[in-house]
Amino acid sequence: MPHPISSLGALHTAISLLPVAAGLYGYARTRGIDVSMRSGKVYLAGLFLSVVTSFGLSSTGKFNAGHALGLLALAAALGGVGVSRLGFLGRLRPYLSAVGLSFSFFLLLVPGINETLSRLPPSHPIGSGIESPVVRGALLGWVGLFVVGLCVQMWTVHAGRRASRRA
């Protein structure tokens, strides 16, 4: 039987759905997370709150891999935002920004996939943690989707740059 979810765990889960929904909306609308749009701002705020609330959660009571992934996701998102301000990177800026923000979204869902498959349905969870073949398969699928999505984003950025040069 899975561990019951605490009040903080429930709050963290609810907060974590904000950046997931905002990120998915951004990908559906603009093929990426655009921090100049409201959905991009919600994504960044939700990611920050998700990472902060995760620090109160740990089955061992210590810093764990989920916390490290959260910090790495936050660093990737901030890097994706900050790189657009670095003029010396020239034409690479939109590509690097897309990589940083997409990588943060990817990392955000790694612990989410593990926890979801290890807790649902409550009576008989699909997986039993990161060592479970089902969880590993889902994470491998997530890696594949990330790579394909990143390629689509790079093509979109490239096509957008080409179209703006013609105009």
Nearest-angstrom CA–CA distance, 71 and 78:
11
What are the sequence ranges of the domains in the chain? 7-166
Nearest-angstrom CA–CA distance, 83 and 28:
23
pLDDT digits (tens, 9 = 90+) for 13-33: 899 999 999 999 999 998 899
Length of the chain: 167
pLDDT digits (tens, 9 = 90+) for 81-104: 999 889 899 999 999 999 999 999
pLDDT digits (tens, 9 = 90+) for 120-148: 888 888 988 889 999 999 999 999 999 99
